[in-house]
A and B are shown apart, each in its own frame.
Chain A
Amino acid sequence: EAGVVQSPRYKIIEKKQPVAFWCNPISGHNTLYWYRQNLGQGPELLIRYENEEAVDDSQLPKDRFSAERLKGVDSTLKIQPAELGDSAVYLCASSSWTSGDHEQYFGPGTRLTVT
């Protein structure tokens, strides 16, 4: 079974530039999460999707961040414009309602550096 796929793995941009991250969850997983992980910290939830519906985006900085999950499969997270403080690893995770433990499967992440 393929895991969660994310691209790109690394991205370096100048501040004020836009950037987008892509995630392909595990096949059949209806729940998709975007997290941000700063160095030395735990993952912080940005947004959670149930199929194509964003059911929790309270932590998403909506002035510059946007996300979509068209057709309830792949998802894209966008930052426009990026700020220096956005440098972090952006993790995508997915889970399934049918999984007894509701464990989340994480992708490898995209390491963003804003200069």
Chain B
Amino acid sequence: GQQVMQIPQYQHVQEGEDFTTYCNSSTTLSNIQWYKQRPGGHPVFLIQLVKSGEVKKQKRLTFQFGEAKKNSSLHITATQTTDVGTYFCAIGAGSYQLTFGKGTKLSVIP
């Protein structure tokens, strides 16, 4: 099946600093989704990217899909303590089947 590598595995930032997590695949992707899982919680959908070079923004979050559709990034500007959690990318093989990365666990130091 499809493989996806997500880096870094952990990230500790001071509140107010920026944060970026990257998702890389060796194959061209049809789509990629991003999820956030709070400690003790369940994954919650953030966004889906479909088009080559697509950029989407949600307040302080910026999502990018690479031109070759093999990689993606999630960037958070000026992190807040509410951003704490694990961020997963999930690559699509068709619209209904996802392979999740291992996630990037974000800690924000107040």
CA distance A103 to B88 in the complex (A): 13
How big is the B interface, by class? 20 to 34
Segment of B13-21, B57-65, B91-99 engaged in the interface with chain A: B91-99
Q: Is chain B's binding surface mostly helix, strand, loop or mixed? A: strand
Partner of B102, one of A41, A48, A107: A41
A48-B101 in contact (CB<8A): no
* A-B pair number, CB within 8 angstroms: 48
Asked if B33 and A106 make an inter-chain contact with CB atoms under 8 angstroms apart, the answer reads no
Write the nearest CB–CB distance from B39 to chain A, whole angstroms.
12
Whether A106 touches B102, Cβ cut-off 8 Å, given contacts A31-B96, A95-B96, is no
Q: Are A45 and B98 in contact (CB under 8 A)?
A: yes
Q: Does B95 lie within 8 Å of A102, measured CB to CB?
A: yes
Residues of A within 8 A of B45 (CB): 101, 103-105
Q: Given A42-B102, A91-B43, A101-B45, decide whether A48 and B97 contact each other with a Cβ distance below 8 A.
A: yes
Residues of A within 8 A of B105 (CB): 40
CB-based nearest B residue for A105: B45
- Decide if B43 touches A106 in the complex (CB within 8 Å): yes
A104 with B98: in contact, given A42-B88, A42-B103 (CB under 8 Å)?
yes
Which residues of A have CB within 8 Å of B99?
45
Contacts of B102 in A (CB 8 A): 40-42
Please determine whether B96 and A102 come into contact, CB atoms closer than 8 angstroms.
yes
Query: Interface on A for B, CB 8 Å cutoff?
Result: 31, 40-45, 48, 50, 56, 91, 93, 95, 101-109
Q: A43-B100, A93-B43, A103-B45 are in contact. List 10 more A-B contacts (CB 8 A).
A: A31-B96, A43-B43, A44-B100, A48-B96, A50-B96, A102-B48, A103-B33, A104-B98, A108-B42, A109-B42
Closest 10 CB pairs of A and B: A42-B100, A103-B45, A101-B48, A106-B42, A102-B95, A106-B43, A43-B100, A42-B88, A42-B102, A42-B103
